[in-house]
Amino acid sequence: ETGVTQTPRHLVMGMTNKKSLKCEQHLGHNAMYWYKQSAKKPLELMFVYSLEERVENNSVPSRFSPECPNSSHLFLHLHTLQPEDSALYLCASSQHRGTGVDEQFFGPGTRLTVL
Amino acid sequence: GQNIDQPTEMTATEGAIVQINCTYQTSGFNGLFWYQQHAGEAPTFLSYNVLDGLEEKGRFSSVLSRSKGYSYLLLKELQMKDSASYLCAVTDSNYQLIWGAGTKLIIKP
């Protein structure tokens, strides 16, 4: 257990569906991240939140919409996804903002399949 | 562009030693991380190097050479549970974390 939980662990959705991924961290950290992990590719940073404010949005398509209602919770809302969006979506947190400063604590991920 | 290179896959024998290499070309350098990720699980932190030299943690060691743009992770007395992917990541001059694609390590009895 890393102190970061994600639900659901697996999700299958059609291209017209709307779903949400949830992440919760129990570590008292100030920064939270969404990553996309595809097979044999480097982790892709999608969004960064610091103290509930979005500080990075790395050219992610608008069909992905993040939400951070408080410093412990992070959501990723999904709509009209494409099959190429199928991947493992990882949530992470760290004490401070800045992806390259502190150790990051990752959740187990949501395996997303888009049909 | 920024680039991290790691072998895609390696195989080693239980009880042996294995070295996983990582070479990087980034705009600046502010540290290098190694993470371990078992299949279907979260990546977990292994080590952090910012100065040249060795960082040891039990059976795992990481070595950094900034002049060569190179690091390696050394795993000793391999156990079956060490079968996992090992991710190398470098912090660039803007404190952005640049990730490698990971090395899948297979341990055979």
Closest chain A CA to residue B29? A100
The pLDDT assigned to A96 comes to: 82
Q: Is the peptide bond before A69 cis (omega within 30 degrees of 0)?
A: no
Residue type, A78: L
Nearest-CA distance A100 → chain B (Å): 5
- B-chain CB neighbours of A107 within 8 Å are 42
What distance in Å separates the CA atoms of residue A21 and residue A11, rounded to the nearest whole number? 9
The pLDDT assigned to A12 comes to: 95
What distance in Å separates the CA atoms of residue A110 and residue B65, rounded to the nearest whole number? 36
Partner-chain contact B101 A40, CB within 8 Å: yes
Q: How far is CA B78 from CA B93, B100, B102, B108, in A?
A: 35, 23, 18, 10
Parts of chain B with a pLDDT under 70: none
pLDDT tens track, chain A, 115 positions = 779 999 999 999 988 889 999 999 999 999 999 999 998 899 999 999 987 777 777 789 999 999 999 989 999 999 999 999 999 999 999 998 765 678 999 999 999 999 9
The pLDDT assigned to A99 comes to: 59
Q: How far is CA A1 from CA A107, B34, B51, in A?
A: 8, 18, 30
- A-chain CB neighbours of B30 within 8 Å are 100-101
Closest chain B CA to residue A104? B45
Nearest-CA distance A18 → chain B (Å): 24
Strand ranges for chain B from DSSP E = 3-5, 9-13, 18-25, 32-37, 44-49, 53-57, 60-65, 70-75, 84-91, 97-99, 103-108
Partner-chain contact B100 A42, CB within 8 Å: yes
Instruction: Find which of B36, B96, B103 to mutate to test the A interface (most A CBs within 10 Å of its CB).
Output: B96
Residue A33 structure tokens: 């991240």
Strand ranges for A30-114 from DSSP E = 31-37, 44-50, 53-57, 64-70, 73-79, 87-94, 105-106, 110-114
Partner-chain contact A45 B97, CB within 8 Å: yes
* Vertex B25 angle, CA B52 and B43, to 5°: 75
Q: For residue A48, list its beta bridge partners.
A: A33, A56
CA-wise closest residue to A32 among A3, A61, A64: A3
Q: How many residues does chain B have?
A: 109
CA-wise closest residue to A87 among A66, A64, A67: A64
Instruction: Find which of B97, B98, B103 to mutate to test the A interface (most A CBs within 10 Å of its CB).
Output: B97
Q: Which residues of B touch A (CB under 8 A)?
A: 4, 8, 30-31, 33, 40-45, 48, 87, 89-92, 95-102
Say which of B31, B42, B91 has its CB closest to residue A2.
B42
Please list, residue by residue across A29-41, b when 16 or more beta carbons sit within 10 angstroms of its beta carbon and e when fewer do. bbbbbbbbbeeee
Q: How many C-beta atoms lie closer than 10 Å to residue B98's C-beta?
A: 23
Contact B62, B54 (CB under 8 A): yes
Q: How many C-beta atoms lie closer than 10 Å to residue A27's C-beta?
A: 13
Partner-chain contact A108 B92, CB within 8 Å: no
